[in-house]
């Protein structure tokens, strides 16, 4: 457990330290496209979260845990 938290904290710190990485504002053309958003379809993502929450023992990751139903 402690090792997991340590790994997670290290990952986040590493990423936050990437302050020199990135693009200039006028280079965001591709990133602005709909298909490059982290969640392209809210309903599809919510549907999958709900199905896998009901049929598996894990949930969430991308966002909040799903759940709120009597399926597990």
Partner 1 sequence: MSRKENRSISAALAAATCTLLGSGVPAPVDAQEEPLWDFNTSLLYYGEDDDRVKDYSVSAIARRMFVDDRYLTLGLTVDGLTGATPSGAIRQDVPQTFTRPSGNAAYTVPAGVLPLDDTFKDTRVALSAGWQQPVGETSLINVGASASKEYDYTHFGVNAKFARDFNQRNTTLSAGFAYSFDSLDPVGGAPTPLTPMLDVGDTSNRTGNPDKDVLDIIFGVTQVISRNLVVQANYSYSMSDGYLTDPYKVLSLVDASGDTLPQTLTPGPSHQYLFESRPDERTKHSIYGQAKYFMNGKVLDASYRYMTDDWEIDSHTVDLHYRIPFGADSYFEPHLRFYTQSEAEFYQLSIPDSQPLPSFASADYRLGDFDAITAGLKYGWRTRNDNEMSVRVEAYRQTGSVPAGQIIGNQAGRDNYPDLNAIIVQVGYRF
Partner 2 sequence: MQRDIRLDLAEDAWQGRFQAMGSPCEVVSEARKRGDALEITSLVAAEAWRIENKFSRYLDGNIVDRINSAAGRPVEVDDETADLLDFAVTLYRLSEHRFDITSGVLRRVWRFDGTDQVPEPENVREVLQRVGWHRVDWQRPVLTMPHGMEIDVGGIGKEYAVDRCAGLVKELHGDPCLVNFGGDLVATRAPGRRRSWKVAIEGDVTAAPDRIIELKQGALATSGDARRFLLKHGVRYSHILDPTTGWPIPDAPRSITIAADSCVEAGMISTLAMLKGVAAEHFLKAQNVVFWCRR
d(CA 39, CA 9): 24
Q: Are 49 and 68 in contact (CB under 8 A)?
A: no
CB 60 within 8 A of CB 49: yes
Q: How far is the CB of 6 from partner 1 (least distance, A)?
A: 11
Beta carbon nearer to partner 2, 14 or 26: 26
2: partner contacted, choices partner 1, partner 2, none (Cβ within 5-8 A by kind): none
Residues that bind partner 2 (CB under 8 A): 25-29, 32-33
Minimum distance of partner 1 from residue 26's CB (angstroms):
10
């Amino acid at each position: 457990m402690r090792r997991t938290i340590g790994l997670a904290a290290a990952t986040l710190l590493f990423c936050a330290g990437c302050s020199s990485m990135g693009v200039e504002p006028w280079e965001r053309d591709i990133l602005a496209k709909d298909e490059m958003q982290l969640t392209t379809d809210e309903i599809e993502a919510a549907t999958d979260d709900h199905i896998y929450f009901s049929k598996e023992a894990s949930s969430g990751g991308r966002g909040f845990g799903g759940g709120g139903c009597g399926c597990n």
